[in-house]
């Protein structure tokens, strides 16, 4: 896919989907800046770099413009200008809407939506003068299906989906494509927390027609293609990677009624 030598910046890269994407892109020859608020990202990047790949770990608060600016400046100084930005940083808060603390709402919207804006803005300031680039936003099928007690998360992901569409039109003349990947339930620390809260793994799997949770590699392969020259004409798309989960409405089973001998 001709990714060798190009630079990727990935947020939320200390764990989960972000880390999986970083690992995959490094295998494909890209240089990768791994960004995360969690300072474990420094050790993650060091471990990947020790395998011969060019990786740097940088701590960042994606909700703070100055922190984002500094992180992108460091990434460019150490690796070069970014060809690809993957906005993968995200948080989830639970709670009935009537009882949700304002701070929980603000935190989810700040990380999951404002962070996408700030990081995209920083990347575009480098991409546009150089005549091109790629932005891939990791959203969620929660942006298109309704989930009780996750209203902030659903609202933020829906916003990120439409942010993707709007930005794609704005920057298409500058050679930048903007797409989103909407994962379904994926093996990650976030899913483990859902299960720890009492959700049955079997019940969750029953919601996925393919019969398995997605893996970070399922998303990483699509990111790599969207980052390539082969996908130059693909922009403004929100692509679900969910094994059919967002299309599936299970029907509750019940005992079949006995036949009416009258035929009615």
Catalytic residues: 153
**Six token digits for residue 175:** 């050679």
Helix, strand, or coil (residue 37): coil
E strand spans, the chain? 7-11, 31-36, 55-59, 84-87, 133-138, 176-183, 238-241
Q: How many whole angstroms separate alpha carbon 195 and alpha carbon 201? A: 7
The dihedral built from the CA positions of residue 20, 25, 26 and 30, taken in this order, carries a sign that is negative
Q: Residue 112 in 3-state DSSP?
A: helix
Identify the CA nearest to 139 among candidates 169, 165, 113: 113
How far is it, in rounded angstroms, from Cα 32 to Cα 260?
67
d(CA 191, CA 43): 23
Q: Would you say 241 and 220 are in contact if contact means Cβ atoms under 8 Å apart?
A: no
Residues ≥6 apart with Cβ < 8 Å to 237: 164, 179, 180
Q: How far apart are CA 60 and CA 57, in angstroms?
A: 10
Q: What is the Cα Rg of the chain in Å?
A: 20
């Amino acid at each position: 896919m001709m990714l060798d030598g190009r630079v990727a910046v990935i947020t939320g890269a200390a764990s989960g989907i972000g880390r999986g994407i970083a690992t995959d892109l490094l295998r494909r020859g890209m240089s990768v800046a791994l960004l995360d608020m969690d300072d474990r990202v420094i050790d993650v990047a060091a471990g990947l770099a020790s395998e011969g790949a060019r990786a740097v770990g940088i701590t960042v608060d994606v909700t703070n413009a100055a922190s984002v600016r500094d992180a992108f400046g460091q990434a460019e100084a150490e690796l070069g200008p970014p060809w690809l930005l993957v906005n993968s940083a995200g948080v989830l808060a639970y709670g009935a809407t009537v009882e949700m603390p304002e701070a929980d709402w603000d935190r989810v919207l700040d990380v999951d939506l404002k962070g996408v804006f700030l990081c995209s803005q920083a990347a575009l300031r480098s991409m546009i003068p150089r005549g091109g680039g790629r932005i891939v936003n990791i959203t969620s099928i929660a942006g298109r299906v309704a989930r009780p007690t996750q209203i902030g998360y659903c609202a933020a992901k829906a916003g990120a989906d439409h942010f993707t569409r709007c930005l794609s039109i704005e920057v298409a003349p500058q050679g930048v494509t903007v797409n989103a990947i909407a994962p379904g339930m994926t093996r990650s620390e976030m899913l483990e927390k859902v299960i720890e809260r009492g959700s049955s793994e079997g019940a969750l799997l029953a919601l996925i027609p393919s019969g398995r949770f997605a893996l970070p590699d399922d998303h990483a392969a699509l990111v790599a293609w969207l980052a390539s020259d082969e996908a130059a004409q693909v922009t403004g798309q929100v692509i679900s990677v969910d094994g059919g989960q967002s299309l599936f409405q299970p029907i509750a089973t019940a005992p079949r009624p006995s036949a009416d001998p009258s035929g009615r």
